[in-house]
Amino acid sequence: MIGNDIHKLAKQLWPYNRSLTGQGVIDTLNQISNHIPNLNIKSIKSGTKVFDWVIPKEWEVHEAYIVTPNGKKICDFSKNNLHLVGYSIPFKGTLSLNELKKNLYTLPKQPKAIPYITSYYKERWGFCLSQEQFDTLDDGLYKIVISSTLSDGKMNYGELLIKGKSDKEIFLSTYICHPSMANNELSGPTVVTFLAKWLQMVNQLEYSYRIVFIPETIGSIAYLSQNFKEMKDKTIAGYNVTCVGDDRAYSFVPSRNGKTISDKIGKHVLKWIDRNFVQYSWLDRGSDERQYCAPGIDLPIASILRTKYGEYDEYHTSLDDLENVVTPKGLNGGYWAIRKAIEAIEKNKKYKVSVKCEPQMSKRGLYPTLSTKAFDKEVKLMMDFISFCDGECSLLEIADNLNVPMWDLYDIAQKLESHNLIHVNK
Amino acid sequence: MIGNDIHKLAKQLWPYNRSLTGQGVIDTLNQISNHIPNLNIKSIKSGTKVFDWVIPKEWEVHEAYIVTPNGKKICDFSKNNLHLVGYSIPFKGTLSLNELKKNLYTLPKQPKAIPYITSYYKERWGFCLSQEQFDTLDDGLYKIVISSTLSDGKMNYGELLIKGKSDKEIFLSTYICHPSMANNELSGPTVVTFLAKWLQMVNQLEYSYRIVFIPETIGSIAYLSQNFKEMKDKTIAGYNVTCVGDDRAYSFVPSRNGKTISDKIGKHVLKWIDRNFVQYSWLDRGSDERQYCAPGIDLPIASILRTKYGEYDEYHTSLDDLENVVTPKGLNGGYWAIRKAIEAIEKNKKYKVSVKCEPQMSKRGLYPTLSTKAFDKEVKLMMDFISFCDGECSLLEIADNLNVPMWDLYDIAQKLESHNLIHVNK
Amino acid sequence: MIGNDIHKLAKQLWPYNRSLTGQGVIDTLNQISNHIPNLNIKSIKSGTKVFDWVIPKEWEVHEAYIVTPNGKKICDFSKNNLHLVGYSIPFKGTLSLNELKKNLYTLPKQPKAIPYITSYYKERWGFCLSQEQFDTLDDGLYKIVISSTLSDGKMNYGELLIKGKSDKEIFLSTYICHPSMANNELSGPTVVTFLAKWLQMVNQLEYSYRIVFIPETIGSIAYLSQNFKEMKDKTIAGYNVTCVGDDRAYSFVPSRNGKTISDKIGKHVLKWIDRNFVQYSWLDRGSDERQYCAPGIDLPIASILRTKYGEYDEYHTSLDDLENVVTPKGLNGGYWAIRKAIEAIEKNKKYKVSVKCEPQMSKRGLYPTLSTKAFDKEVKLMMDFISFCDGECSLLEIADNLNVPMWDLYDIAQKLESHNLIHVNK
């Protein structure tokens, strides 16, 4: 089960302090490069204007912690990088508990969880801790140490281009900016890493592939600002990959358009994997499809997920881990759902029957020679399939007409093609 | 509450003997002119051919009553103008009860109600009375007096044109041919009078307005016969206004087409005013939309109503009054439903976001600077709104996508426009 | 009731040994010619290539039976032609019961039924018998006699062309290749015979008619191979006629397209004959619509049936008879359903109202002169009808809009046309 390998990679990536920028991102990309050596690690300078936004300063953290009145070190960044508010500015000082509290963040309703908080675009500092720990804090003077830097540097991301028979591209995007969290986010880049490995082994891909590992929002905006025209020309389908690691549900978030081939294939695949998959609307979006499908951008990008961001209690807390939330089985399901969607797009051709009226199947050994009341199910499926090979129905549409998953038709199509009874209609 | 003012006007108009023609129509139009001084009172001569019809003779009634065998005056037109069949020819004579009964009309199932009966296109005379009164009539000789005239004269109507930024017009039509009845009809011309007053006070209307006060059927046919070509060029939306005065329901009668902007806006507005509004079909039509939407005419005219004609017991009887049926609150609801529809058409623009990808809202103070699990509802509504500003979705379509009333978006659109984040797409 | 006459013809045709070819087909066509003398009986030579298929050899049976060890003659073809597997090759010999059993066919789940089995495209022989008879067979030697010939000859079929005002054609196809079975098949050719008789008596048909009596599958493929181009140009609608003889249900099998006029009219007619008619999908097809609607052929051919082939226990067995399954009443219903569909296609015109706005009906005596609360149902239907006479709605669409069967509008349309109030829009 490939889910075990994916889970292993996620464990390796767990400790790095991913954010929009900084060493944690570089370390993550380097680890991924061990699996896909031709990954291009690229960068954009801080201060670069990207559409309505500006690439932020590079953030590094050397150490960060609080010392309590009785000398205990708490909220230690080196133990859990969620303790420090993302993009915290440097600060050293001594504060009373009341003063300190203005910079402490907890989740009263989830008292054991450390929340995940960031402040990318306003300079501030803060610590995150569990409500339970917060409640033990005594009055007195607290020593605060945040040794961080915010400096003109760069924002890194990874890009992989795979050549297929056609220049037309399928786009996969995943993000690498969240620190130690499992479903949202490590499931995304790890599943995409293994999808990239598989795609590079496939013989004769129909389409080319563009795969990016970027920080969320600012990363996709920056990438689009540099590649939009080419992507608009080439992209025929794609998925934003996030929250593909738990085993509690399958979910779908459509593109803004809602009727692109990514939407149709995504929903078809999920329906046949799990009749009860959760279908969200565009109003439930929340990741980089916000940029890829923005008005005027409108790329055909949807999301195939397990349990969606925002829809599970552990979301954006220290409880979103690789033990209780994300599992090898969950990752395995996420991997195969997206792989089946990619395979379906690759095989979604329009076939045309090569003879007028029904072909005589029996002379080719494809039909029983004795006509009785009974009728073979597989023969019926084949005859039904042929009856839709009009050169205009796609394999997806035929599968939907026949109420079967597309993959039930792959062998039939191949067999009929080998008998010259159908051919692809260009 | 404007409903009080509307109700007051209705009480003033109550006693006039409105019909297709005659002094009651002129008196009604003159009273309305007190509120909208620039109302044009126009006329067409009896005998004028209008499409398949001919303008009827002008009808005046000087007196009409019956004297019973024991000398009592009944069915006195001066006490209730419903007592006389509309367009009754003059008649003086003495008849036995049995002979008289051939010209008497009652409603056995509504024994207290005087029915409303007309005979515009065949010469006859008759009296209407309650079944209860009818049942008290003794045998004997009855003296009949109908002092009426049917002469070559004219048919009057009112027309008001209001200039907006665009030559394109919104059309409002209401009728002034029914005598003393309240929901059907006084609610119509009185509500339209107050809508016209409001429209004339609005600063910078997007569209021009054509508003007519006409007799039903023959009036709309006559008006179309003279103005059809211009109206076909200019009319983008409109409503026939009738039965907008009781407080028992909201209703909608579509145009023949069913999908014009008048239909879409009308149903949107009613849905958000009253989830349980009654949606009728074209087969339930019964007023001047029959002409405005006739094949080959096909103007985009629908009807927003309170309780529809034909759908309440008091309809077309003396029970359709200003006390028990039509109320200030009912008129108020009718006025606001149509006003909200007009406002929605005025504001139903197509917006286009001015930047590529999502705008950075936080630098404009439109977005929280701290990223947490929680998400502000208003901010979400604004981001959802922006996500549909593609220059092709109308405000109505966006509101439907977001499942909110259009008026929830008016302020958001204005705020984003003032930040140059969106602009109207011409 | 015409069903009685149809049933009588079916009884006459019962004993003939119909198959793809042979004397039974010729005898059947000759009998039908007694009713429609201008029927063309045509033929195609064995060995002729027709699209992907080849016309088979001509099959004749002189005698066929089995003699049991104790000298009893069983499975005698002269008593029931279902006993012999269709297209059995000649065979004479003596076999043990075990050897014989390899060539015996029964239906264990229907122990009293003789199954209907054919082997057109692989040379073999066999006998069909009831499971009950099969169970009585004792061990011993059986003498087999099949005196049949398979020789280069011809395949016969009948064709009738009826000229209407337009060259555009309505196509009726039925098959004549099944031996003694009643619903599937004698109901088909007998009902079509009486439809052809009726059509030839109609004064001024709008459309021309092409009617064929052919063997199933190979017959329709052969006919298409010779007439496809002309049929593609001319055919505007049509039905494959089969299983129209029992009185247990009405059913509909759509064309592949599903939205042709044959589909729309067929479903409309059946809905108004029997609200509970069974609507099948293209996936439930099974007769010559497989050829007429094959990709690239795509003629507008659907099926109006009583109980569909494959959907009743007696199907393709000796139990499908003229006593228990097919009845005069069943045939009558099948005849009228198709006749009503044909009439509806003939009358499915687009009407345009001749005046602007509503016509004044009262001056033509088509409307009450007194306006009261009540409203006549027939007058309302007429006014509703006029309101859709825009030159673009077909009579079918208007009937669906008004929720009435098309035939309720035939007289109204005629009356309005005679008053010059509507005219056909070409």
Do residues B249 and B379 both lie within one domain?
no
pLDDT in the model for residue C376: 83
Out of A360, A391, A401, the one facing C52 most closely (by C-beta) is: A360
Q: Give the three-state DSSP class for B362.
A: helix
Question: If you measure CA to CA, which chain B residue comes closest to A124?
Answer: B370
- For A370, name the nearest residue in chain C, comparing CA atoms only: C119
To the nearest whole Å, the CA of C360 is away from the closest chain B CA by 6
Q: Does A373 touch chain C (CB under 8 A)?
A: yes
Q: Using the predicted structure, report yes or no on whether residue B373 has a pLDDT greater than 90.
A: no
C115 contacts on A by Cβ (under 8 Å): 372-373
CB pairs under 8 A between A and C: 82
Greater confidence, C57 or C372? C57
Closest by CA to B182, choosing from B393, B403, B15, is B15
Nearest to B261 by CA among B344, B192, B352, B161: B344
Assess whether pLDDT exceeds 80 at residue B372. Answer: no
| d(C-alpha A128, C-alpha A80), whole Å | 10
List chains adjacent to chain A, taking adjacency as at least 3 C-beta pairs closer than 8 Å. Answer: B, C
Smallest CA–CA distance, residue B409 to chain A, in Å, is 16
Q: Which SS3 state, helix, strand or coil, does residue B139 take?
A: coil
Specify whether the CB–CB gap between B289 and B216 falls below 8 A.
no
Q: How many whole angstroms separate alpha carbon A133 and alpha carbon A143?
A: 17
- Tell me the pLDDT band of C374, cut-offs 50, 70 and 90: low
On whether both B259 and B367 belong to a single domain, the answer is: no
- Say if residue B188 is in the same domain as residue B336: yes
Q: What is the pLDDT of residues A110-147, one digit of tens each?
A: 999 999 999 999 999 999 999 999 999 999 999 999 99
pLDDT of residue C137: 97
Cβ B290–C358 below 8 Å, yes or no?
A: yes
Backbone dihedral angles phi then psi of residue A415, each to the nearest 5 degrees: -65, -45
Chains adjacent to B (≥3 CB pairs closer than 8 angstroms): A, C
Share of chain A above pLDDT 90, in %: 96
C171 has pLDDT over 90: yes
Place of tokens 């050169």: A391
Report pLDDT for B369.
79
Report yes or no: C377 at the B interface, CB cutoff 8 Å: no
Interaxial angle between packed helices C395-402 and C261-273, expressed in degrees from 0 to 180 and rounded to the nearest 10 = 40
> CA-CA distance, A241 to A304, in Å (whole number)?
7
Residues 303-322 of A with CB under 8 A from B: 310, 315-317
Q: What is the pLDDT of residue B371?
A: 77
Across the strands, what pairs with B54?
B49
Last residue of a domain, one of A297, A315, A347: A347
Is the dihedral angle over the CA atoms B26, B31, B37, B39 positive or is it negative?
Answer: negative
Q: Which of B299, B316, B347 is the C-terminal boundary of a domain? A: B347
Across the interface, do B117 and C370 touch by the CB < 8 Å criterion?
yes
Instruction: Please name the chains neighbouring C, where neighbouring means 3+ C-beta pairs under 8 angstroms.
Output: A, B
Helices (H), B256-327: 261-273, 289-292
CB contact under 8 A, A121 and B369: yes
Mean pLDDT of all residues belonging to chain C: 97
Same domain, C164 and C256: yes
Nearest-10 crossing angle of helices B261-273, B395-402:
40
Average pLDDT over residues C151-161: 98
Question: How far is residue C320's CA from residue C327's CA, in Å, rounded to a whole number?
Answer: 11
Give residue-wise pLDDT tens across range B214-231.
Answer: 999 999 999 999 999 999
CB contact under 8 A, B387 and A295: yes
A84-95 per-position pLDDT tens digit: 999 999 999 999
Q: Do C52 and A358 touch (CB under 8 A)?
A: yes
Domain shared by C188 and C324, yes or no = yes
Between CA A57 and CA A52 the distance in angstroms is: 16
Q: Which of C359, C371, C390 sits opposite B52 (nearest CB)?
A: C359
pLDDT for the residue C426:
81
Record: contact C357-B121, CB cut-off 8 A? no
Residue C226: pLDDT band (50, 70, 90) is very high
Same domain, B47 and B65: no
C154 in Cβ contact with C94 (< 8 Å): no
Range C198-219 average pLDDT: 97
Count of domains observed in chain A: 3
CATH of the domain at C8: 3.40.630.10
Pick C52's closest partner by Cβ from A357, A369, A370: A357
User: Which is nearest to C176 in space by CA: C314, C4, C39?
Assistant: C39
pLDDT digit string, tens, across residues A325-340 = 999 999 999 999 999 9
Instruction: For residues C177 and C264, state if they share a domain.
Output: yes
Same domain, B176 and B323: yes
Q: Are residues A176 and A282 in the same domain?
A: yes
Measure CB to CB from residue A295 to each of B384, B389, B401 and give the nearest one.
B389
Partner C contacted by B225 (CB < 8 A): yes
- Burial bucket for residue A405 (CB in 10 Å: 0-12, 13-18, 19+): middle
B208 interfacial to chain C (CB closer than 8 Å)? no
Q: What is the pLDDT of residue B411?
A: 96
Task: Using the predicted structure, report yes or no on whether residue B375 has a pLDDT greater than 90.
Answer: no
Last residue of a domain, one of A106, A122, A151: A151
List pLDDT tens digits, range B336-347: 999 999 999 999
Does the pLDDT at position A23 exceed 70? Answer: yes
* Residue B367, domain CATH: 1.10.10
Give just the sign of the alpha carbon dihedral C224, C229, C231, C232: positive
Q: What is the 3-state secondary structure (H, E, C) of chain C?
A: CHHHHHHHHHHHHCCCCCCCCCHHHHHHHHHHHCCCCCCEEEEEECCCEECCEECCCEEEEEEEEEECCCCCEECCCCCCHHHECECCCCEEEEEEHHHHHCCEECCCCCCCCCECCECCCCCCCCEECCHHHHCCCCCCEEEEEEEEEEECCEEEEEEEEECCCCCCEEEEEEECCCCCCHHHHHHHHHHHHHHHHHHHHCCCCCCEEEEEEECCCHHHHHHHHHHHHHHHHHEEEEEECCCCCECCCCEEECCCCCCCHHHHHHHHHHHHHCCCCEECCHHHCCCCHHHHCCCCCCCCEEEEECCCCCCCCCCCECCCCCCCCECHHHHHHHHHHHHHHHHHHHHCCEEEECCCCCCCCHHHCCCCCCECCCCCHHHHHHHHHHHCCEEEEEHHHHHHHHCCCHHHCHHHHHHHHHCCCEEECC
Per the CB < 8 Å rule, is C119 touching A362?
Answer: no
Taking 90 as the threshold, does the pLDDT of residue B292 lie above it? yes
pLDDT digits (tens, 9 = 90+) for A155-178: 999 999 999 999 999 999 999 999
- Residue-wise pLDDT for A232-245, tens only, equals 999 999 999 999 99
Q: Determine the pLDDT at residue A426.
A: 81
Q: Does C121 touch chain A (CB under 8 A)?
A: yes
Task: Give the pLDDT score at B374.
Answer: 67
Residues A44 and A160 in one domain: yes
The model's pTM is 0.94
The pLDDT value recorded for residue B347 is 98
Is residue C66 less than 8 Å (CB to CB) from chain B? no
* Chain C residue nearest residue B52, CA to CA: C359
Same domain, B51 and B75: no
Provide the pLDDT confidence category of residue C367 given band limits of 50, 70 and 90.
confident
Which residues constitute the domain of residue A261? 3-56+154-347
Tens digit of pLDDT for each residue in B54-101? 999 999 999 999 999 999 999 999 999 999 999 999 999 999 999 999
Same domain for C131 and C254, yes or no, is no
Contact A256 B387 (CB under 8 A): yes
> Is the pLDDT at A81 greater than 70, yes or no?
yes
Question: C212 vs A242, A253, A316, C218, CA distance in Å?
Answer: 61, 54, 72, 13
pLDDT given at position A368: 82
Q: Do B283 and C355 touch (CB under 8 A)?
A: no
Residue with tokens 């309170």: B306
Task: Provide the shortest C-alpha distance from residue A409 to chain C (in Å).
Answer: 16
- Considering only CB atoms, B118 lies closest to which of C352, C371, C386, namely C371
Cα–Cα distance, C213 to C159 (Å, whole number): 6
Establish how many alpha carbons lie within 13 A of residue A107's alpha carbon, considering only the half-sphere containing its beta carbon: 20
Instruction: Select from A75, A77, A78, A141 the least CA-distant residue to A105.
Output: A75
pLDDT tier for residue A374 given thresholds of 50, 70 and 90: low
pLDDT classification of C150: cutoffs 50, 70, 90: very high
Amino acid present at B126: G
CA distance A38 to C196: 75
Model confidence at B390, pLDDT cuts 50, 70, 90, reads very high
Q: A265 to chain C nearest CA, in Å? A: 22
d(CA C308, CA B225): 56
Say yes or no to pLDDT of A410 above 90.
yes
pLDDT confidence bin for A377, thresholds 50/70/90: confident
CATH number of residue A131's parent domain: 3.50.30.90
